[in-house]
């Protein structure tokens, strides 16, 4: 698609960022990107409960998400949904915007820890197949964070780039969840799953600094909070909804859709903590290579 023209993608974040509009303008100017502002209708800011929310403790997160998506899909429209600063606010926020007309994807660069059944049901209720991208976490191999671990959510792990060589990032969250292995992973045949859902599903750059602009200065950011909005932007560039089933079927049909990451580790637990050919529990299917071209070529 033409830079995401005509597409709408969203970011859910806890707390407001009063400088997001001006920061995005400066970022766009600095990188030679089209402007995307509130005044033009390209950037829309909404609040959980309908009333303005106090600024969050980590304003850099909303800047990172919005700016990264804009760099990937510079002609897409952006919806920033500010939620209450609580696990419940973050957990329920996506379900409150998931039926927004024309919405292609929601970015969730956070984890709220608890895998409670009522929250899982919110993410499963997705009749329009909105792509739900969540950061897999920055603490390496560990108990999976949520919402990334929920079936139906696309968990995004991380890689590093060093002199053009891409490897698994040591901080990339991954492992086996307590949920049953979903049909898409079972059909693909992820290794040593033991009947459980594996995380992550895919990956993008996370351990190498990405530039953002916040409140008068350029800042380098790292983490799967970088990787997740990269994939959210990609969702605006393809002509089909990105679902877990699409990812795994494309990986089988078009092996060159993903860059297979085969080096690096995120812990000392053997196979599950080590990058492998094919699917692994640090980078999933891999990072985007010819993914956009291959998906857009599907009938």
Give tens-digit pLDDT for 65-77.
999 999 999 999 9
Q: Which domain holds residue 68?
A: 8-296
Residue 23 belongs to a domain with what CATH number? 3.40.50.200
State whether the Cα torsion 287-248-255-289 is positive or negative: negative
Q: Would you call 292 exposed, middle or buried from its count of C-beta atoms within 10 A (0-12, 13-18, 19+)?
A: middle
Mean pLDDT, rounded, for 196-218: 95
The closest of 128, 153, 296, 160 to 227, measured between CA atoms, is: 160
Answer yes or no: are the C-beta atoms of 260 and 167 closer than 8 Å.
no
* Token pair for 248: 């795994």
Answer yes or no: are the C-beta atoms of 82 and 55 closer than 8 Å.
no
The closest of 10, 85, 100 to 48, measured between CA atoms, is: 85
Give domain status of residue 3, yes or no.
Answer: no
CB neighbour list of residue 296: distance below 8 Å, 6 or more residues apart: 1, 238, 239
Exposure of 145 in the CB half-sphere (CA atoms within 13 A) = 24
pLDDT at 173: 95
Does the pLDDT of residue 113 top 80, yes or no? no
* Token pair for 277: 């050919």
Question: How does pLDDT run across 117-147, given as a tens digit for each residue?
Answer: 678 888 999 999 999 999 999 999 986 789 9
* Token pair for 246: 């699409």
- Write phi, then psi, for 187 (nearest 5 degrees): -65, -40
| 276: preceding bond cis by omega (within 30 degrees) | no
Q: Is the pTM of this model over 0.75?
A: yes
Give domain status of residue 160, yes or no.
Answer: yes
The closest of 3, 6, 2, 39 to 24, measured between CA atoms, is: 39
Mean pLDDT, rounded, for 55-66: 83
Pairwise pLDDT comparison (143 vs 90), residue with the higher score: 90
Q: Give the span between the Cα atoms of 132 and 154, in whole angstroms.
A: 6
* Token pair for 141: 């191999």
CB neighbour list of residue 118: distance below 8 Å, 6 or more residues apart: none
Question: How does pLDDT run across 10-52, given as a tens digit for each residue?
Answer: 999 998 899 999 999 999 999 999 999 999 999 999 999 999 8
Give domain status of residue 147, yes or no.
Answer: yes
Give domain status of residue 2, yes or no.
Answer: no
Give domain status of residue 242, yes or no.
Answer: yes
pLDDT at 61: 85
Give domain status of residue 1, yes or no.
Answer: no
Give domain status of residue 128, yes or no.
Answer: yes
Question: How does pLDDT run across 287-299, given as a tens digit for each residue?
Answer: 999 999 999 999 9
Does the pLDDT of residue 56 top 70, yes or no? yes
**Total domains in the fold of the chain:** 1
Give domain status of residue 78, yes or no.
Answer: yes
Q: Give the span between the Cα atoms of 282 and 128, in whole angstroms.
A: 29
């Amino acid at each position: 698609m033409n830079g995401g023209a005509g597409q709408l993608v969203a970011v859910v974040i806890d707390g407001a960022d009063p400088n997001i509009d001006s920061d995005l303008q400066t970022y766009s100017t600095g990188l030679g990107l089209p402007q995307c502002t509130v005044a033009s209708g390209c950037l829309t800011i909404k609040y959980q409960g309908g009333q303005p929310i106090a600024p969050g403790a980590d304003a850099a997160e909303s800047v990172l998400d919005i700016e990264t998506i804009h760099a990937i899909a510079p002609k897409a429209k952006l919806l920033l949904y500010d939620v209450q600063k609580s696990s419940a606010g973050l957990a329920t926020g996506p379900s409150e915007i998931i039926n927004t007309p024309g919405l292609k994807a929601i970015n969730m660069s956070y984890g709220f820890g608890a895998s409670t059944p009522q929250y899982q049901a919110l993410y499963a209720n997705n009749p329009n197949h909105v792509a739900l991208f969540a950061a897999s976490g920055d603490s390496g191999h560990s108990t999976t964070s949520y919402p990334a671990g929920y079936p139906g959510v696309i968990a995004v792990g991380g890689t590093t780039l060093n002199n053009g060589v891409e490897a698994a990032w040591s901080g990339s969250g991954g492992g086996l969840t307590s949920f049953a292995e979903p049909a898409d992973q079972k059909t693909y045949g992820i290794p040593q799953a033991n009947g459980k859902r594996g995380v992550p599903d895919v990956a993008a750059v996370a351990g190498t600094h990405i530039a953002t602009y916040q409140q008068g200065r350029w800042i380098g950011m790292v983490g799967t909070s970088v990787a997740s909005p990269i994939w959210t932007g990609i969702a605006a560039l393809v002509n089909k909804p990105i679902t877990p089933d699409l990812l795994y079927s494309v990986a089988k049909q078009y092996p060159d859709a993903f860059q297979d990451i085969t080096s690096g580790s995120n812990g000392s637990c053997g196979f599950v903590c080590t990058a492998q050919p094919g699917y692994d529990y640090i980078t999933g299917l891999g990072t985007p290579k010819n993914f956009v071209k291959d998906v857009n070529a599907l009938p």
